[in-house]
Protein backbone atom coordinates (compact mmCIF):
# COMPACT_ATOMS: atom_id res chain seq x y z
CA UNK A 1 0.00 0.00 0.00
CA UNK A 2 1.43 3.38 -0.94
CA UNK A 3 1.97 6.20 1.53
CA UNK A 4 -0.79 8.24 -0.20
CA UNK A 5 -3.32 5.43 0.22
CA UNK A 6 -2.36 4.95 3.89
CA UNK A 7 -2.79 8.66 4.58
CA UNK A 8 -6.16 8.68 2.83
CA UNK A 9 -7.34 5.65 4.85
CA UNK A 10 -6.27 7.26 8.13
CA UNK A 11 -8.08 10.47 7.25
CA UNK A 12 -11.30 8.58 6.49
CA UNK A 13 -11.01 6.68 9.80
CA UNK A 14 -10.45 9.90 11.72
CA UNK A 15 -13.46 11.54 10.04
CA UNK A 16 -15.67 8.57 10.85
CA UNK A 17 -14.53 8.63 14.48
CA UNK A 18 -15.23 12.35 14.69
CA UNK A 19 -18.72 11.95 13.21
CA UNK A 20 -19.48 9.12 15.64
CA UNK A 21 -18.40 11.27 18.60
CA UNK A 22 -20.48 14.22 17.39
CA UNK A 23 -23.55 11.97 17.09
CA UNK A 24 -23.21 10.66 20.62
CA UNK A 25 -21.24 7.47 19.93
CA UNK A 26 -22.44 4.18 18.53
CA UNK A 27 -26.08 3.09 18.60
CA UNK A 28 -25.20 0.59 21.29
CA UNK A 29 -23.45 3.27 23.38
CA UNK A 30 -26.35 5.68 22.96
CA UNK A 31 -28.77 2.94 23.99
CA UNK A 32 -26.67 2.21 27.08
CA UNK A 33 -26.67 5.88 28.09
CA UNK A 34 -30.43 6.10 27.67
CA UNK A 35 -30.99 2.98 29.76
CA UNK A 36 -29.11 4.53 32.69
CA UNK A 37 -31.29 7.65 32.74
CA UNK A 38 -34.30 7.53 35.11
CA UNK A 39 -37.67 7.39 33.32
CA UNK A 40 -39.86 10.47 33.68
CA UNK A 41 -43.18 10.05 35.47
CA UNK A 42 -45.73 9.67 32.68
CA UNK A 43 -48.61 10.70 34.94
CA UNK A 44 -52.25 9.67 34.45
CA UNK A 45 -53.50 8.93 30.93
CA UNK A 46 -55.74 11.99 30.77
CA UNK A 47 -55.59 15.76 31.02
CA UNK A 48 -58.40 16.17 33.56
CA UNK A 49 -60.68 13.95 35.62
CA UNK A 50 -63.39 14.29 38.24
CA UNK A 51 -65.68 12.10 40.33
CA UNK A 52 -68.91 13.61 41.67
CA UNK A 53 -71.72 12.34 43.87
CA UNK A 54 -74.82 12.52 41.73
CA UNK A 55 -77.16 13.16 44.65
CA UNK A 56 -75.42 16.03 46.44
CA UNK A 57 -73.00 17.32 43.82
CA UNK A 58 -70.08 16.77 46.20
CA UNK A 59 -66.73 16.38 44.43
CA UNK A 60 -65.08 13.15 45.60
CA UNK A 61 -61.96 13.30 43.42
CA UNK A 62 -60.55 15.84 41.01
CA UNK A 63 -57.49 16.53 38.91
CA UNK A 64 -57.45 19.68 36.79
CA UNK A 65 -61.19 19.92 37.37
CA UNK A 66 -61.42 23.43 35.91
CA UNK A 67 -58.97 22.96 33.04
CA UNK A 68 -60.68 24.42 29.98
CA UNK A 69 -60.80 21.70 27.36
CA UNK A 70 -62.74 20.90 24.15
CA UNK A 71 -65.46 18.36 24.97
CA UNK A 72 -65.92 17.24 21.34
CA UNK A 73 -69.26 15.42 21.04
CA UNK A 74 -70.02 15.86 24.75
CA UNK A 75 -71.11 19.32 23.58
CA UNK A 76 -74.35 17.51 22.70
CA UNK A 77 -75.09 17.05 26.41
CA UNK A 78 -76.31 20.66 26.56
CA UNK A 79 -78.45 20.11 23.47
CA UNK A 80 -79.93 17.04 25.17
CA UNK A 81 -80.74 19.07 28.29
CA UNK A 82 -82.41 21.96 26.47
CA UNK A 83 -84.59 19.64 24.38
CA UNK A 84 -85.62 17.61 27.45
CA UNK A 85 -86.51 20.82 29.30
CA UNK A 86 -88.59 22.03 26.35
CA UNK A 87 -90.53 18.78 26.33
CA UNK A 88 -91.09 18.96 30.08
CA UNK A 89 -92.41 22.54 29.94
CA UNK A 90 -94.74 21.64 27.05
CA UNK A 91 -93.16 23.81 24.35
CA UNK A 92 -92.08 20.69 22.44
CA UNK A 93 -93.34 17.12 22.17
CA UNK A 94 -91.48 13.88 21.54
CA UNK A 95 -93.75 13.15 18.56
CA UNK A 96 -93.09 16.52 16.89
CA UNK A 97 -91.97 16.02 13.26
CA UNK A 98 -88.43 17.29 12.64
CA UNK A 99 -87.49 18.08 9.04
CA UNK A 100 -83.90 17.76 7.86
CA UNK A 101 -82.50 20.90 6.24
CA UNK A 102 -79.89 20.89 3.49
CA UNK A 103 -77.31 22.15 5.98
CA UNK A 104 -78.12 19.40 8.49
CA UNK A 105 -77.78 16.74 5.79
CA UNK A 106 -74.22 17.92 5.07
CA UNK A 107 -72.85 17.28 8.57
CA UNK A 108 -69.88 14.94 8.63
CA UNK A 109 -68.49 12.72 11.35
CA UNK A 110 -70.85 10.43 13.22
CA UNK A 111 -74.24 10.58 11.50
CA UNK A 112 -77.39 8.71 10.52
CA UNK A 113 -77.17 9.90 6.91
CA UNK A 114 -80.21 12.16 6.92
CA UNK A 115 -81.31 13.42 3.52
CA UNK A 116 -82.59 16.93 2.84
CA UNK A 117 -86.34 17.01 3.49
CA UNK A 118 -86.35 13.76 5.44
CA UNK A 119 -88.64 13.82 8.49
CA UNK A 120 -88.38 11.91 11.76
CA UNK A 121 -90.15 12.39 15.12
CA UNK A 122 -88.17 14.38 17.68
CA UNK A 123 -87.91 11.25 19.83
CA UNK A 124 -86.15 9.28 17.08
CA UNK A 125 -83.83 12.17 16.28
CA UNK A 126 -82.89 12.38 19.95
CA UNK A 127 -82.19 8.66 20.12
CA UNK A 128 -79.80 9.10 17.19
CA UNK A 129 -78.08 11.94 19.09
CA UNK A 130 -77.89 10.37 22.54
CA UNK A 131 -77.02 6.80 21.50
CA UNK A 132 -75.14 7.28 18.23
CA UNK A 133 -73.89 10.90 18.62
CA UNK A 134 -75.36 11.82 15.22
CA UNK A 135 -74.18 15.26 14.07
CA UNK A 136 -76.77 15.59 11.31
CA UNK A 137 -79.60 14.87 13.76
CA UNK A 138 -78.13 17.41 16.21
CA UNK A 139 -78.33 20.21 13.64
CA UNK A 140 -81.83 19.18 12.53
CA UNK A 141 -83.10 19.22 16.12
CA UNK A 142 -81.38 22.53 16.92
CA UNK A 143 -82.98 24.15 13.86
CA UNK A 144 -86.36 22.71 14.82
CA UNK A 145 -86.21 24.10 18.36
CA UNK A 146 -84.58 27.50 17.78
CA UNK A 147 -84.92 28.20 14.06
CA UNK A 148 -81.19 27.91 13.36
CA UNK A 149 -78.12 26.23 14.78
CA UNK A 150 -76.62 29.62 15.70
CA UNK A 151 -79.76 30.59 17.63
CA UNK A 152 -79.62 27.27 19.46
CA UNK A 153 -75.98 27.91 20.41
CA UNK A 154 -77.19 31.13 22.06
CA UNK A 155 -79.67 29.05 24.08
CA UNK A 156 -76.86 26.70 25.09
CA UNK A 157 -74.65 29.51 26.36
CA UNK A 158 -77.53 31.12 28.23
CA UNK A 159 -78.38 27.83 29.94
CA UNK A 160 -74.70 27.35 30.81
CA UNK A 161 -74.72 30.74 32.56
CA UNK A 162 -77.89 29.83 34.46
CA UNK A 163 -76.27 26.60 35.68
CA UNK A 164 -73.11 28.44 36.75
CA UNK A 165 -70.86 26.68 34.23
CA UNK A 166 -68.08 29.25 34.37
CA UNK A 167 -65.60 27.24 32.29
CA UNK A 168 -68.00 26.65 29.41
CA UNK A 169 -68.51 28.42 26.08
CA UNK A 170 -70.30 26.82 23.14
CA UNK A 171 -69.77 27.60 19.46
CA UNK A 172 -71.57 24.61 17.92
CA UNK A 173 -74.44 22.24 18.64
CA UNK A 174 -72.48 19.08 17.81
CA UNK A 175 -68.87 19.50 19.02
CA UNK A 176 -67.12 18.78 15.71
CA UNK A 177 -63.59 20.18 15.41
CA UNK A 178 -63.71 23.84 14.39
CA UNK A 179 -63.10 24.72 10.75
CA UNK A 180 -60.71 27.49 9.76
CA UNK A 181 -61.87 30.77 11.31
CA UNK A 182 -64.13 29.02 13.85
CA UNK A 183 -63.61 28.56 17.59
CA UNK A 184 -63.72 25.31 19.53
CA UNK A 185 -66.35 24.52 22.13
CA UNK A 186 -64.76 24.72 25.59
CA UNK A 187 -65.75 23.33 28.98
CA UNK A 188 -64.21 21.53 31.98
CA UNK A 189 -64.54 18.25 33.86
CA UNK A 190 -66.37 20.05 36.66
CA UNK A 191 -68.87 21.75 34.35
CA UNK A 192 -69.58 18.49 32.55
CA UNK A 193 -70.33 16.75 35.85
CA UNK A 194 -72.74 19.54 36.85
CA UNK A 195 -74.43 19.25 33.45
CA UNK A 196 -74.67 15.47 33.87
CA UNK A 197 -76.44 15.97 37.23
CA UNK A 198 -79.09 18.03 35.44
CA UNK A 199 -79.56 15.35 32.79
CA UNK A 200 -80.14 12.73 35.50
CA UNK A 201 -83.50 14.45 36.11
CA UNK A 202 -84.81 13.34 32.71
CA UNK A 203 -85.71 9.61 32.50
CA UNK A 204 -86.10 9.63 28.71
CA UNK A 205 -82.59 10.93 28.14
CA UNK A 206 -81.08 8.53 30.66
CA UNK A 207 -82.98 5.61 29.13
CA UNK A 208 -81.41 6.34 25.73
CA UNK A 209 -77.98 7.05 27.26
CA UNK A 210 -78.09 3.59 28.83
CA UNK A 211 -79.26 1.81 25.66
CA UNK A 212 -76.66 -0.50 24.10
CA UNK A 213 -78.22 -0.37 20.65
CA UNK A 214 -81.51 0.54 18.99
CA UNK A 215 -83.05 0.33 15.49
CA UNK A 216 -83.29 3.39 13.22
CA UNK A 217 -85.10 3.82 9.90
CA UNK A 218 -87.41 0.94 10.81
CA UNK A 219 -84.49 -1.34 11.51
CA UNK A 220 -82.52 -0.59 8.34
CA UNK A 221 -79.81 0.92 10.55
CA UNK A 222 -78.68 0.06 14.08
CA UNK A 223 -77.68 2.81 16.51
CA UNK A 224 -74.78 1.55 18.64
CA UNK A 225 -73.89 3.34 21.84
CA UNK A 226 -70.53 5.08 21.60
CA UNK A 227 -70.02 4.53 25.36
CA UNK A 228 -68.27 1.17 25.71
CA UNK A 229 -68.93 1.16 29.47
CA UNK A 230 -72.66 1.04 28.78
CA UNK A 231 -72.14 -1.80 26.34
CA UNK A 232 -69.76 -3.79 28.57
CA UNK A 233 -71.18 -3.36 32.10
CA UNK A 234 -74.55 -3.64 33.81
CA UNK A 235 -74.12 -0.71 36.21
CA UNK A 236 -72.97 2.14 33.94
CA UNK A 237 -76.08 3.77 32.49
CA UNK A 238 -74.72 6.78 30.59
CA UNK A 239 -73.88 9.32 29.52
CA UNK A 240 -71.81 10.64 26.57
CA UNK A 241 -68.49 10.31 24.80
CA UNK A 242 -66.45 12.68 22.67
CA UNK A 243 -63.41 12.60 20.42
CA UNK A 244 -61.42 14.50 17.89
CA UNK A 245 -57.65 14.69 17.58
CA UNK A 246 -57.02 17.87 19.56
CA UNK A 247 -59.57 16.96 22.25
CA UNK A 248 -58.40 13.39 22.70
CA UNK A 249 -60.78 10.70 23.94
CA UNK A 250 -63.29 11.97 26.48
CA UNK A 251 -66.18 10.44 28.42
CA UNK A 252 -68.79 11.45 30.97
CA UNK A 253 -69.96 8.24 32.66
CA UNK A 254 -72.80 7.77 35.14
CA UNK A 255 -73.18 4.72 37.35
CA UNK A 256 -75.62 3.44 39.96
CA UNK A 257 -74.85 0.77 42.55
CA UNK A 258 -76.59 0.00 45.85
CA UNK A 259 -78.45 3.30 45.73
CA UNK A 260 -75.28 5.35 45.21
CA UNK A 261 -75.23 7.50 42.06
CA UNK A 262 -71.82 8.66 40.80
CA UNK A 263 -70.60 10.71 37.82
CA UNK A 264 -67.09 10.35 36.38
CA UNK A 265 -65.55 12.65 33.78
CA UNK A 266 -62.29 11.96 31.93
CA UNK A 267 -60.86 14.43 29.38
CA UNK A 268 -58.02 14.26 26.90
CA UNK A 269 -56.96 10.60 26.98
CA UNK A 270 -54.56 9.62 24.19
CA UNK A 271 -56.31 6.28 23.60
CA UNK A 272 -59.99 5.31 23.62
CA UNK A 273 -59.52 2.46 26.10
CA UNK A 274 -57.71 4.80 28.49
CA UNK A 275 -60.74 7.07 28.78
CA UNK A 276 -63.10 4.18 29.53
CA UNK A 277 -60.67 2.39 31.85
CA UNK A 278 -59.97 5.52 33.89
CA UNK A 279 -63.67 6.39 34.18
CA UNK A 280 -64.40 2.84 35.34
CA UNK A 281 -61.59 3.06 37.91
CA UNK A 282 -63.00 6.30 39.28
CA UNK A 283 -66.50 4.87 39.56
CA UNK A 284 -65.33 1.64 41.16
CA UNK A 285 -63.17 3.53 43.65
CA UNK A 286 -66.12 5.74 44.52
CA UNK A 287 -68.48 2.83 45.07
CA UNK A 288 -65.87 1.08 47.23
CA UNK A 289 -64.97 4.14 49.33
CA UNK A 290 -68.22 6.04 49.87
CA UNK A 291 -71.73 5.50 51.15
CA UNK A 292 -74.95 7.52 51.18
CA UNK A 293 -76.38 8.80 54.47
CA UNK A 294 -79.84 10.28 54.84
CA UNK A 295 -79.69 13.57 56.71
CA UNK A 296 -83.49 13.57 56.51
CA UNK A 297 -85.93 11.27 54.73
CA UNK A 298 -89.04 12.28 52.84
CA UNK A 299 -92.01 12.00 55.23
CA UNK A 300 -89.87 12.28 58.38
CA UNK A 301 -91.68 14.28 61.06
CA UNK A 302 -90.00 17.59 61.86
CA UNK A 303 -92.89 19.14 63.84
CA UNK A 304 -95.51 17.15 65.75
CA UNK A 305 -97.87 19.83 67.08
CA UNK A 306 -97.69 22.86 64.83
CA UNK A 307 -100.61 25.24 65.64
CA UNK A 308 -103.13 26.07 62.90
CA UNK A 309 -105.34 29.17 63.24
CA UNK A 310 -109.07 28.34 62.95
CA UNK A 311 -108.10 24.72 62.45
CA UNK A 312 -109.99 21.55 63.22
CA UNK A 313 -107.90 20.03 64.70
CA UNK A 314 -105.86 22.92 66.03
CA UNK A 315 -102.51 21.26 65.41
CA UNK A 316 -100.91 19.46 62.49
CA UNK A 317 -97.85 17.29 61.87
CA UNK A 318 -95.26 18.76 59.52
CA UNK A 319 -92.87 16.49 57.64
CA UNK A 320 -89.95 16.77 55.22
CA UNK A 321 -91.11 16.99 51.61
CA UNK A 322 -88.01 15.33 50.18
CA UNK A 323 -84.87 13.37 51.01
CA UNK A 324 -81.52 14.96 51.77
CA UNK A 325 -78.74 12.52 50.92
CA UNK A 326 -75.13 13.08 51.91
CA UNK A 327 -72.17 11.16 50.58
CA UNK A 328 -69.67 10.06 53.23
CA UNK A 329 -66.63 7.81 53.71
CA UNK A 330 -67.65 4.20 54.35
CA UNK A 331 -66.50 4.36 58.00
CA UNK A 332 -67.69 7.91 58.74
CA UNK A 333 -70.20 8.73 61.46
CA UNK A 334 -72.08 11.97 60.85
CA UNK A 335 -74.63 13.89 62.90
CA UNK A 336 -77.26 16.21 61.42
CA UNK A 337 -79.64 18.75 62.95
CA UNK A 338 -83.07 19.68 61.57
CA UNK A 339 -84.78 23.06 61.93
CA UNK A 340 -88.33 23.87 60.90
CA UNK A 341 -88.70 27.32 59.33
CA UNK A 342 -92.38 28.11 58.78
CA UNK A 343 -93.43 30.61 56.13
CA UNK A 344 -95.74 32.23 58.70
CA UNK A 345 -98.76 31.34 60.83
CA UNK A 346 -100.63 28.33 59.52
CA UNK A 347 -104.21 29.09 58.55
CA UNK A 348 -106.96 26.52 57.99
CA UNK A 349 -108.02 24.89 55.79
CA UNK A 350 -104.92 22.91 54.80
CA UNK A 351 -104.68 19.87 52.55
CA UNK A 352 -102.23 17.01 52.77
CA UNK A 353 -98.76 17.91 51.44
CA UNK A 354 -99.44 21.62 51.68
CA UNK A 355 -96.13 23.48 51.75
CA UNK A 356 -95.85 25.50 54.94
CA UNK A 357 -92.14 26.34 55.04
CA UNK A 358 -88.76 24.66 54.80
CA UNK A 359 -86.74 22.07 56.67
CA UNK A 360 -83.20 23.37 57.19
CA UNK A 361 -80.60 20.62 57.46
CA UNK A 362 -77.41 21.47 59.35
CA UNK A 363 -74.20 19.68 60.25
CA UNK A 364 -72.04 21.09 63.05
CA UNK A 365 -74.13 24.25 62.93
CA UNK A 366 -73.56 24.80 59.18
CA UNK A 367 -76.47 24.64 56.76
CA UNK A 368 -76.00 21.95 54.12
CA UNK A 369 -79.47 21.71 52.52
CA UNK A 370 -83.09 22.81 52.50
CA UNK A 371 -86.21 20.88 51.50
CA UNK A 372 -89.91 21.80 51.60
CA UNK A 373 -91.79 21.37 54.86
CA UNK A 374 -95.28 19.98 54.18
CA UNK A 375 -98.33 18.93 56.16
CA UNK A 376 -98.81 15.24 56.89
CA UNK A 377 -102.57 15.46 57.53
CA UNK A 378 -105.49 17.59 56.34
CA UNK A 379 -106.87 20.35 58.57
CA UNK A 380 -110.45 21.59 58.17
CA UNK A 381 -111.55 25.13 58.94
CA UNK A 382 -113.37 25.38 62.27
CA UNK A 383 -116.96 26.54 61.70
CA UNK A 384 -118.30 26.82 65.26
CA UNK A 385 -117.21 28.76 68.35
CA UNK A 386 -116.74 25.44 70.18
CA UNK A 387 -114.32 24.20 67.48
CA UNK A 388 -112.40 27.46 67.57
CA UNK A 389 -112.05 27.34 71.34
CA UNK A 390 -111.39 23.65 71.80
Superfamily of chain region 48-290:
DD-peptidase/beta-lactamase superfamily (3.40.710.10)
Look at residue 55 in the predicted model and tell me its pLDDT: 87
Look at residue 8 in the predicted model and tell me its pLDDT: 53
How far is Cα 115 from Cα 126, in angstroms, rounded to an integer? 17
Give the CATH number of domain 297-389. Answer: 2.60.410.10
Reply yes or no: is the peptide bond before residue 370 cis, omega within 30 of 0. no
Look at residue 332 in the predicted model and tell me its pLDDT: 85
Look at residue 323 in the predicted model and tell me its pLDDT: 94
Please give the model's pTM, rounded to 2 decimal places.
0.80
Segment 114-171, tens digit of pLDDT: 999 999 999 999 999 999 999 999 999 999 999 999 999 999 999 999 999 999 999 9
Q: Residues in the chain with pLDDT < 50? A: 1-7, 9-12, 14-40
Segment 189-233, tens digit of pLDDT: 999 999 999 999 999 999 999 999 999 999 999 999 999 999 999
Coil, helix or strand at residue 230: helix
Query: Helix, strand, coil % (nearest 5) of the chain?
Result: 35, 30, 35
Q: Name 65's Cβ contacts closer than 8 Å, sequence gap at least 6.
A: 48, 50, 59, 188, 189, 190
Q: What is the 3-state secondary structure (H, E, C) of 265-327?
A: EEEEECCHHHHHHHHHHHHHHHHHHEEEEEEECCCCEEEEEEEEECEECCEEEEEECCCEEEE
- Calculate the alpha carbon distances from 230 to 62, 175, 192, 240, 256 in Å: 23, 21, 18, 10, 12
What is the Rg, in whole angstroms, of the alpha carbon atoms belonging to the chain? 30
Summary mean pLDDT of the chain: 90
**Domain spans, the chain:** 48-290, 297-389
Amino acid sequence: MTRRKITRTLLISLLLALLTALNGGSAEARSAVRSKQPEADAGPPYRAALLMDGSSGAVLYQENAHLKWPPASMTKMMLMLIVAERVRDGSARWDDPVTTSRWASKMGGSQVYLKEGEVFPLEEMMQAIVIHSANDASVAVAEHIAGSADAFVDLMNERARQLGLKDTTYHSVHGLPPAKGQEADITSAYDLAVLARELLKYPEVMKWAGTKEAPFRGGAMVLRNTNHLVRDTSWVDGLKTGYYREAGFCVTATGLRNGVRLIAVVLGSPRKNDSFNEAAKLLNKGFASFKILYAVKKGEVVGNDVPVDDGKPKFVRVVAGDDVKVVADKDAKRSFQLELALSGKLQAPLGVQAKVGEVIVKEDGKEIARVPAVTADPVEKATSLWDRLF
